[in-house]
Structure 1
Amino acid sequence: MTLPRDIKGRCLCGAITATAMISNPILRACHCDMCRQHTSGMFMSLAVDEGSLVFDGPVTTFRSSDWAERGFCPTCGSTLFYSTIEDGARHPAAGLFADIDDVPLKLEFFSDKCPAGYALSGDHRRLTTEQTIAMFTSPEGD
């Protein structure tokens, strides 16, 4: 994998395209109640370089909590991103990008909420609900 590299993606119908730069590509999975309700499974996001993510098309957002919003395509309903309101950070849905087969899964959030019907294999960090909340509420982060 040559890094950094540009990646391109799109929603299911193609009405929205996405571009980003990846220098330290990792996949993250979230099993929280909202992500599972939103996607009918886990939400998989791709780490992209800060400020490099650009969407072109009619992105619609829904404020799903006091601290976050979710972006989606108003035509096909594809999930585009999870975004934190306070800092405006957008975490794009990994499924938008076709050319990331070589990107490793490195982190699961809310791993103790993962349904019994599936489990992610491999050697990666798995944070419980308590650990996930502590990570996001810690003044220093993690």
Structure 2
Amino acid sequence: MTRAKRVGKCLCGAVEISISAAADKIGACHCTMCRRFSGGSAFMAVHGTEQIDAKGAEHIGRYKSSDWAERGFCTQCGTPLFYHLTVGTMEYFYSAGLFQNDDKDFKVNLEIFVDQKPDFYDFANAQSQRKTSEQVFQEVNE
């Protein structure tokens, strides 16, 4: 029997987010804002949908970090929850760390803003597609 959803929680458990069980691809963003948001290294995110499926939504804070996106966090414990595009696809990208009890088959398949990645870390066995900031913005504007 296949399950329908993966369930992840913030550090304190006030927010619980559900995503499709089929979601197993991780994107890693090395941009300066994502690194600041995630505490210094890449923001590792699972692609979601246009609608958020969350329990404890009253504990979700939102910060408009650019003209095209906002970032979500738990107002109780501060856990980064998502990056949400507010234009275009309107997609949510959920912090992979939320799903620690359900992440056995996650695979990093994309790294973006690789030109902003600092030298102090690298991914072992990196086999993902890699894009610079110029390539990312070029795709967005197509």
State the number of aligned residues: 136
Provide, for residues 67-112 of structure 1, a one-character-per-residue CA deviation record: whole Å limited to 9, x for no partner.
Answer: 1100000111000000011243211111100211211110000011
1:35 aligned counterpart, secondary structure: helix
Name the counterpart of 1:45: 45
AA aligned to 1:25 is D
2:28 aligned counterpart, secondary structure: strand
Deviation of the 1:22 alpha carbon:
3.4
Alignment of 1:1-142 (within 5 A): 5-39=4-38, 40-48=40-48, 50=49, 53-57=52-56, 58-86=59-87, 87-98=89-100, 99-121=102-124, 122-138=126-142
Provide, for residues 33-75 of structure 1, a one-character-per-residue CA deviation record: whole Å limited to 9, x for no partner.
Answer: 1111212221110123x35741111111001111110000011
Task: Please give the TM-score of this superposition, normalised by the length of structure 2.
Answer: 0.87
Could you tell me which runs of 5 or more consecutive residues in structure 2 were left unpaired when the two chains were aligned.
none
AA aligned to 1:112 is D
Maintained 8 Å contact 2:115/2:132 = yes
Residues 41/97 of structure 1: CA separation in 2 closer, same or farther (3 Å cut): same
Residues 4/114 of structure 1: CA separation in 2 closer, same or farther (3 Å cut): farther
1:34 aligned counterpart, secondary structure: helix
2:138 aligned counterpart, secondary structure: helix
Q: Distance in 2 between matches of 1:110 and 1:3?
A: 35
Maintained 8 Å contact 2:23/2:46 = no
AA aligned to 1:44 is M
2:134 aligned counterpart, secondary structure: helix
CA RMSD, aligned part only?
1.8
Maintained 8 Å contact 1:21/1:52 = no
Maintained 8 Å contact 1:81/1:91 = yes
